[in-house]
């Protein structure tokens, strides 16, 4: 690549700086337009029956309802914090449903939709955000690693795990999740270099939701993120992250290539975080309402509903049933969350090491004595 061709690269347009239609992106893989129109792509395709399409819609609606309930529970003091996935449902459901049973996903702390596709009970995620435990699910049984709060660290875990699979001769792949902000982290870059060097069976799935908390993408990268893959020596593809079909198709193809020994792929799911970074954040301080309004026109769920309804694949009774199921799920999550018992204060000592070390045992004894030094029912 000559220097001049590098300098002619344009940075992504500022989201929302234009008229309310998708920015002209010739490289964006899309199979379902924001208006719900099914389009074809020369390289990627999906072949789903009506039931599978309806199932994807159900997934999208249920995880959004879960997210809404969790946000409300945080506002009611029942969760310490919540990282909302609002707007990113299609990226997560599409990626999660692309995984085969033997594959493993390494999430950040926002992949509630992927957790859903791996059969993780939402309450096991809620307990983490309530501060009751560090995530209650079994990473091995679900093929879904525990949430990683450290930005980008899970990419190293994913690459290492993928190299392990390679050495075991397993026909399985690893899906590493991270955000646009994490691409600026050393760990993510190191993970990609190692994965490329060893042709590890890992797919780097970046949900570009346009903001690293408050920092817009154009401050972090001079080139579209998916083009960075070329520098590491593996393919990069940008997919409409609000198009569940396109995400599913692209991720499936990337995972299949990884399982066949063709090495890693970088998938950039171009999406938008419609809510706050977490419940501790106020996005109105760094982005304009008009931007959100424009992304609402590209809502990931509305287009699937429009497609299902217009093509006669689902009727109002189906949509009503999904809504009812979502309300039931929300009620179950609410009840289960508020009824979670607090764990004993000494639980942290039990989970640090498989076998207790003498200094930790001493600390635990001190801590118990300290706790016991207070009067009952004091606070």
Q: Which positions touch another protein (CB under 8 A)?
A: 18, 68-69, 72, 74-78, 80-81, 131-132, 276, 279-282, 284-285, 288-290, 292-293, 334-335, 338-339, 341-343, 345, 358-359, 362-363, 365-367, 369-370, 373-375, 377-379
Q: How far apart are CA 251 and CA 100, in angstroms?
A: 11
Hey, which residues are catalytic here?
273, 277, 286
Buried/exposed code over 101-129 (b: 16+ C-beta within 10 A; e: otherwise): eebbbbbbbbbbbbbbbbebbbbbbbbbb
3-state SS assignment for residue 349: helix
Q: Which is nearer to another protein, 41 or 296 (CB)?
A: 296
Beta strand pairing call for 236-240 and 215-216: unpaired
CB of 127 to another protein, least distance (A): 11
What is the maximum alpha-carbon separation in the chain?
73
Give backbone dihedrals phi and psi of 39, rounded to 5 degrees, phi first: -125, 160
Degrees (nearest 5) of the Cα angle 310, 315, 316?
115
Q: Which is nearer to another protein, 171 or 282 (CB)?
A: 282
CB of 149 to another protein, least distance (A): 13
Q: Which is nearer to another protein, 197 or 351 (CB)?
A: 351
CB of 79 to another protein, least distance (A): 8
Chain CA centroid to CA 346, Å: 32
CB of 327 to another protein, least distance (A): 10
Chain CA centroid to CA 344, Å: 31
Helix (H), strand (E) at residue 179 = strand 174-179
* 227 contact partners, CB below 8 Å, separation of at least 6: 9, 236
| CA distances, 139 to each of 168, 282, 342 (Å) | 19, 32, 23
CB of 219 to another protein, least distance (A): 15
CB of 294 to another protein, least distance (A): 8
* Calculated CA dihedral for residues 184, 186, 192, 197, nearest 10 degrees: 150
Give backbone dihedrals phi and psi of 208, rounded to 5 degrees, phi first: -85, 95
């Amino acid at each position: 690549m000559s220097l001049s061709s590098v300098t002619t690269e344009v940075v992504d347009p500022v989201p929302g700086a234009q008229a309310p239609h998708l920015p002209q992106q010739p490289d964006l893989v899309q199979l379902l337009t924001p208006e719900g129109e099914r389009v074809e792509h020369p390289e990627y395709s999906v072949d789903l029956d009506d039931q599978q399409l309806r199932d994807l819609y159900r997934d999208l609606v249920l995880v959004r309802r879960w997210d809404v309930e969790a946000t409300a529970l945080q506002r009611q003091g029942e969760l310490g914090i919540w990282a909302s996935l609002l707007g990113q449902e299609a990226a997560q459901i599409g990626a999660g449903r692309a995984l085969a049973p033997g594959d493993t996903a390494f999430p950040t702390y926002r992949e509630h939709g992927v957790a859903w596709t791996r059969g993780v009970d939402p309450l096991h995620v809620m307990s983490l955000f309530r501060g009751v435990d560090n995530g209650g699910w079994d990473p091995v049984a679900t093929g879904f690693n525990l949430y990683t709060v450290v930005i980008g660290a899970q990419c190293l875990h994913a690459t290492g795990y993928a190299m392990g699979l390679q050495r075991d001769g397993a026909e399985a792949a690893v899906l590493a999740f991270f955000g646009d902000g994490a691409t600026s982290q050393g760990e993510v870059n190191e993970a990609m270099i190692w994965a490329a060097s060893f042709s590890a069976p890992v797919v780097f799935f970046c949900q570009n939701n346009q903001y690293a908390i408050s920092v817009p993408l154009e401050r972090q990268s001079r080139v579209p993120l998916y083009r960075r893959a070329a520098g590491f020596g593996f393919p990069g593809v940008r997919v409409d992250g609000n198009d569940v079909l396109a995400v599913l198709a692209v991720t499936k193809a990337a995972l299949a290539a990884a399982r066949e020994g063709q090495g890693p792929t970088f998938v950039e799911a171009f999406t938008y975080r419609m809510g706050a970074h977490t419940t501790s954040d106020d996005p109105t301080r760094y982005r304009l309402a008009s931007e959100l309004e424009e992304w609402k026109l590209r809502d990931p769920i509305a287009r699937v509903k429009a497609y299902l309804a217009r093509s006669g694949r689902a009727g109002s009774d189906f949509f009503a049933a999904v809504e009812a199921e979502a309300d039931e799920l929300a009620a179950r999550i609410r009840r289960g969350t508020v009824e979670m018992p607090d764990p004993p204060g000494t639980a942290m000592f039990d989970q640090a090491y498989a076998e207790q070390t003498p200094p930790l045992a001493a600390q635990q004894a001190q801590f118990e004595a300290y706790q016991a030094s207070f009067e009952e029912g004091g606070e």
